[in-house]
Amino acid sequence: MADLSGRGPQACLLVYDGQCRLCVTAQQGLDRLGTRADTVPVRMVPYQSDEAKQALGEAYRPGRPDAAFLVRPNGEIDRGLDAFLALLPGLRGGRILSVLLRLPLVKLVGYLLYWLVARYRYQIFGTVLFVGDAENRGELG
């Protein structure tokens, strides 16, 4: 498991798909909001990065990821909707949504919606060139 911070308080690591237009747009929005998970700062890295591969360890699979991941400073890994549930209290309106998602039926619908969006995200929202890919080929991203 990787040291997620190296300096100051350790941060959670949100690993997102760097080739998914929806994921990259969401990452940029969350970055602007100054995201926190359970009062711990969150750093965001693309799944395609070496840092993500190291942090995820055995949970990493080559290719496109099926879900986002939240790696906590203690090494615990949440994936999919659970990765985002930890972020909700730190977002505007997130506490209300967090309370709603505690209801079993609402949470079940949330998991279903996450699965559908995650499965069809490329067809619905499209792809983007991962900047790391361009750097490896000497192109501009």
Cβ(70)–Cβ(52) below 8 Å: no
User: Is the pLDDT confidence value at 6 over 70?
Assistant: no
CA distance linking residue 38 with residue 22, whole number of Å: 24
Q: Of residues 42 and 68, which shows the higher confidence score?
A: 68
In the chain, % of residues over pLDDT 90: 59
Closest CA to 50 of 62, 36, 66: 62
Domain residue spans in the chain? 12-131
pTM: predicted TM-score of the whole model, two decimal places: 0.80
Q: Of residues 140 and 122, which shows the higher confidence score?
A: 122
CA distance linking residue 70 with residue 52, whole number of Å: 10
CA distance linking residue 66 with residue 46, whole number of Å: 13
pLDDT digits (tens, 9 = 90+) for 64-80: 999 999 999 999 999 99
